[in-house]
Amino acid sequence: MTEDLGASARTGRVSERLFTLPNALSMLRLVGVPLFLWAIVTRRDGLALLVLALSGITDYADGKIARTFRMESRVGQFLDPIADRLYILSTLVGLAWRGIIPLWFVVVLLAREAVMLVVLLHLRSRGQIGLPVHFVGKAATFGLLYAFPLLLLAHGDGVIAGLARPIGWGFAWWGLVLYWLAAILYALQAKFVLSRASHRPRSPRAR
């Protein structure tokens, strides 16, 4: 999520470590982005499906490991949302290029990203760093990252494709609705943060 780029504003202690298992998983996902684009454009659907599936698994695993074993780091807070966004963007482009998903679906998701960018830029212009990650936003990302491999799998014939199609679109609609719901919640949260900041008493200036 675009808003996750401001995740350094979270409460709680995070480390400055670079070499952790969650960070390695995030870096591995970043390496997979160009591999996925090459596979989807050259119609190597098996490889593209494998990369997408691994990206979804590692997306869940790096956060789970970081929270369970207290390996949360500022590098991880930076890398994880970037990997999410790059996978979603590259998958949208690749699947739309192949005609697997309609163009309107891409436009609606990108419009949401544009809205969140405006919200974050407005926050930064008022001296606010960013917004903490919201559960709804993470659930939306989860839905989309699991929808895309299923939709790719559904782009074919046979029983498996027939089963994957409704499940994939179910995840896609779930992710799309939650994505916009998260944007509304972040906008309301931004309004609250700015309102609280404007009513905060200012310290007297030194004379």
pLDDT in tens, 62-107: 878 888 888 787 777 778 778 888 888 888 989 999 999 999 999 9
Distance in angstroms (rounded) separating the CA atoms of residues 44 and 170: 25
Q: What pLDDT score does 101 carry?
A: 93
Judge whether 201 lies within some domain: no
Amino acid in position 147: A
Domain containing 114: what range?
2-194
Residue 200 corresponds to which tokens in the numbers above? 């905060």
| pTM for the model | 0.75
Q: How many CB atoms lie within 10 A of CB 82?
A: 15
- The pLDDT value recorded for residue 1 is 42
Q: Kindly state whether residue 12 falls inside one of the protein's structural domains.
A: yes
Q: Are 116 and 179 in contact (CB under 8 A)?
A: no
Asked if residue 60 belongs to a domain, the reply is yes
Token pair recorded at residue 168 = 């994939």
Q: What pLDDT, on a 0 to 100 scale, did the predictor assign at position 177?
A: 96
151 with 169: CB under 8 angstroms? yes
Instruction: Identify whether 202 is part of a domain.
Output: no
Write down the pLDDT at residue 64.
83
CATH number, domain with residue 116 = 1.20.120
The answer as to whether 131 is a domain residue is yes
In a domain, 185, yes or no: yes
pLDDT digit string (tens) for the chain, length 207 residues: 444 444 444 444 566 777 888 888 888 888 899 999 999 989 999 999 899 888 888 888 887 888 888 878 777 777 877 888 888 888 898 999 999 999 999 999 999 989 988 988 888 888 776 666 678 988 998 899 889 989 999 988 889 999 999 999 999 999 999 999 999 998 998 888 888 877 665 545 444
- The reported pLDDT for the residue numbered 145 is 83
Question: Domain for residue 206, yes or no?
Answer: no
Q: How many domains does the chain have?
A: 1
Alpha carbons 86 and 81: distance in angstroms, whole number: 9
Confirm whether 90 is domain-assigned.
yes
Instruction: Supply the pLDDT for residue 69.
Output: 85
Q: What is the 8-class DSSP label of residue 19? A: -
**Calpha distance 158→153 (Å, rounded):** 10
